[in-house]
Structure 1
Amino acid sequence: MGALPELVALVAVLTLVGPRALARARWAGREPVVALWAWQCLVIAVLLCCACALVLAGAGAWPALRDLVFSGAPAGVEAAYGFPTARPWAIAAAFVLLLGGVRTALALAYELAGAQAVRRRQRHQLIRQAPDLHPELRPKAVGSEQLVVLESEEPRAWSLPGPVPRMVVTTGALRRLSGRELDALLAHERGHVRARHHWLLSAAEALVAGFPAIRLFGQFRDQVGQLVELAADDSAARRHGRLATAIALVELNPESACTHPLAQIPFRVDRLLSGATRLPAPRRLVLTLAALALPLAPVLLTLAPGLTAL
C-alpha cells in the first residue's frame, strides 16, 4: 500500500502550502477567473486524494472489494500495491475515510437543497411584490431573463438564478444610476448567473459546514466570495466600461457597507479605476494547466504502483 502514505502526504502539502500560495498570488486580482479555477482545482485535488485513499484502504480491508477493484488487471498489478495481510488498521482507515465521504455528500446535498429552497421562497416573494405578466405578454424566447423593478427607497440590485433568471432592481437604484451605469450593474448580475456562481458558493458553504475545522475549506469559501465579485466586475467593465461599473458600485453601496471586511467595495472600485491590464495569454495558459495538474496528481499517485508493475 505504498500509494496510501503518499496520498496522505500530498493532502498535507496541498492543505498547508496551496492556500498560502494562492492567497498571496499577485496575479489573482488581475485574473479572478483563473484564480477561481485554481482554487477549485486545489479543493478537488484534496477531495480526490481522500477518495483514492478510501479505495486503497477499502481494497486492503476487504478482499472482496480488492478483487472487484483489480478485476481484469494484468498479473502483478495487485501485488505491486503490497496490501497487508493484517487488516485492522486498513479497516479503521477505510471507515474514517468513508465517514468523511458520507459527511461530504450529506453536507453538499443539504446545502444545495437549502439554497434551492431559499431561491424558491425569493421567487414566490417577488411574485407577490411584482406579479408576473400575462402569459401572452411574457417573453417567448426560452431561457430569457426577466427584469423586476421593486418599489423601495433603498438602492439595491441582485440576481435570482433559475430557469428564467430574474434581475431585480429597486426604484431607489433607478433614481441613483444613469442608463449606462444601470446597464453595467445588470451586466454584473448577468455575469454571476452566466458563470453559475451560486452553485460554487453553495458548494463552498457546504464544505465549511461539513468540516468547519479544516482551514482550507474556510479559505476557499472566503476567496470564492471575493473572486466571484471581481469576475462579475470584469464582465460588466468589458461591456460598459470601468468607470460606469465603478460608479454603479459606489452608488449602490452606502458608506457603512464599505467598511464591511468582506464587501471590499473600495478595493473593487480602485481596481476598476486603475485599469490594470490582464496577464499575457501564454501566462494564463500556464497557470490554467498548472492548476489542472493538481487534481491529476492524486490520480497518478494512485495508479503509479500498477503502472510501474506493467
Structure 2
Amino acid sequence: MILPAALLLLGALTAVVAPRLLAGAEWPDREPVVALWTWQCVIAAVLLCCALSMTLSAAAAWHAVGGHVFASAPHAVVEAYALGTAGPWAATTAVTLACGGLWSAAMLVREIARAHTRRRRRRAELLVRAPLLPGEERGGRLVVLEGDRPEAWWLAGPEGQLVVTTAALRRLKGRQLDAVLAHEQGHAQARHHWLLHCSAALAGGFPQVRVFAAFRDEMHRLVELAADDMASRRFGRLTTALALVELNEDRGVFGPCPTPQAHVPRRVARLLTPPDRLPATRRLQLTAAASLVPVIPVLVAFVPGLRALG
C-alpha cells in the first residue's frame, strides 16, 4: 500500500513548491486578502496530506481502525486499498503523524493561552494607568492614556477598544486617528489574531519545517497590508500613510539601521505609490485556484475507491 507514502510526498512537494511560487509572484502585495486565503489553502493542503496519510496508515496497521474507516464501504473498495499488504512501517507512520497532530494542537493551545495572558496583563495595566471613577463603567471605542511616546493599539475583547496615548493624539492630525482606528478594526473584524496564533503555533512547534516559518512571516506581513487597505479605502491612502509615519517616526524605523519595525517604511511606500489592483476576474481565478489546492490530497486519497466503484 503506497498511498500513504504518496500523500506524504504530495504534502512535501506542496510545502516546497507553493511558497516559492508565492514568493516569486508580484500579486500578493496587490491583493493581500487573496494572498492570505492562498496561504491558508496551502497549509491546509499540507496538513490534510498528513492527516489522510495517518488515517490510511492506521487503517492498514490495525484492523479495528480499518473497520471503522471503511465501515460502510463496499468490499471492492476495501480490496482496492490493499490494507493487508501494508508493511511494518504503517504503524510507525500512523503513530508519528498522530504525535505530530497532538503536538500541533498543544502548541496552538499554548499560543492561545499566552495571548490570553498578555491581553489580561494589558487590561490590568490599563486599569492602573486609567482607573475608573466610582460608578464609572468602561465603555466607548477609544481610551486615552497619558504618555510621552506616541502609541496606539487595539485591546481585544467582547467590546474592543482603541488605546492611544496623549502623545499620539498630539501627533495625529485630522482624520489620521480615524484611519488608525479603522486599521485596528480591520484586524478585529477579519479575525487576524487567529491566523497569527495558528501560524505561530505551527512555526514554534516545527521550527525545522520551512513552510510553517514562511507561513508565520507572511501572515504578519499580509495582515498589516490588508488592514492598511481597509483603512485607506475609508480615509485615503495619504491619511493612512501619514498616521503610520506619525506613530513610528520616533522609533527609528525610517533610519538606515534595521529595526523590528522595518516593515513600516515599506507599508508607507506602498500606500503612497499604490499598486494597481487585479481585475475582479483575476482575483476570482486566484481564489478558486487556491481553493482547489486542499482538494487535491482528498482526490488522491479517494482514487483507489473511485476506480473500484467505476
**TM class, shorter-chain normalised?**
over 0.9
1:231–1:91: structure 2 CA closer, same or farther, 3 Å change rule? same
SS in structure 2 at match of 1:226: helix
SS in structure 1 at match of 2:293: helix
Report the Cα offset of residue 295 of structure 1. Answer: 1.0
> What do residues 130-168 of structure 1 show as CA deviations (whole Å, max 9, x unaligned)?
2347767665xxxxx531111111011111211111211
Report the Cα offset of residue 30 of structure 1. Answer: 0.6
1:151–1:183: structure 2 CA closer, same or farther, 3 Å change rule? same
Q: Does 1:297 align with 2:293?
A: no
CA contact (8 A) 2:144 2:166 kept: yes
Structure 1: how far apart are the matches of 2:105 and 2:133? 40
Q: Does 1:278 align with 2:273?
A: no
CA contact (8 A) 1:80 1:309 kept: yes
Structure 1: how far apart are the matches of 2:281 and 2:201? 34
Aligned residue for 1:11?
A: 11
Report the Cα offset of residue 115 of structure 1. Answer: 1.0
Report the Cα offset of residue 231 of structure 1. Answer: 0.5
Structure 2: how far apart are the matches of 1:262 and 1:90? 47
SS in structure 2 at match of 1:71: coil
Aligned residue for 1:308?
A: 307
Q: Does 1:75 align with 2:75?
A: yes
Aligned residue for 2:175?
A: 180
- Matched residue type, 1:81: Y
TM-score for both structures, normalised by structure 1: 0.94
Aligned residue for 1:215?
A: 210
Report the Cα offset of residue 261 of structure 1. Answer: 5.8
- Matched residue type, 2:185: R
Q: Which shifted more, 215-224 or 267-276?
A: 267-276
Structure 2: how far apart are the matches of 1:6 and 1:89? 14
CA contact (8 A) 2:142 2:162 kept: yes
1:134–1:293: structure 2 CA closer, same or farther, 3 Å change rule? farther
Identity %: 53
Q: Which shifted more, 251-260 or 218-227?
A: 251-260
SS in structure 1 at match of 2:75: coil
CA contact (8 A) 2:129 2:145 kept: yes
Report the Cα offset of residue 209 of structure 1. Answer: 1.2
Report the Cα offset of residue 126 of structure 1. Answer: 1.1
- C-alpha RMSD of matched pairs (Å): 1.6
SS in structure 2 at match of 1:302: helix
Aligned residue for 2:162?
A: 167
* 1:197-212 mapped onto 2 (5 Å cutoff): 197-212=192-207
How many residue pairs get aligned? The number is 305
SS in structure 1 at match of 2:143: strand
SS in structure 2 at match of 1:84: helix
Structure 2: how far apart are the matches of 1:214 and 1:108? 16
Aligned residue for 2:253?
A: 257
> What do residues 81-125 of structure 1 show as CA deviations (whole Å, max 9, x unaligned)?
112345421111111111111111111111111111211111121
Aligned residue for 1:59?
A: 59
Q: Which shifted more, 211-220 or 120-129?
A: 120-129
1:194–1:133: structure 2 CA closer, same or farther, 3 Å change rule? farther
SS in structure 2 at match of 1:162: coil
Aligned residue for 2:115?
A: 115
Report the Cα offset of residue 22 of structure 1. Answer: 1.0
Structure 2: how far apart are the matches of 1:67 and 1:101? 22
Structure 2: how far apart are the matches of 1:231 and 1:86? 47
> What do residues 189-220 of structure 1 show as CA deviations (whole Å, max 9, x unaligned)?
11111111111111111111110110111111
CA contact (8 A) 1:2 1:81 kept: no
SS in structure 1 at match of 2:142: strand
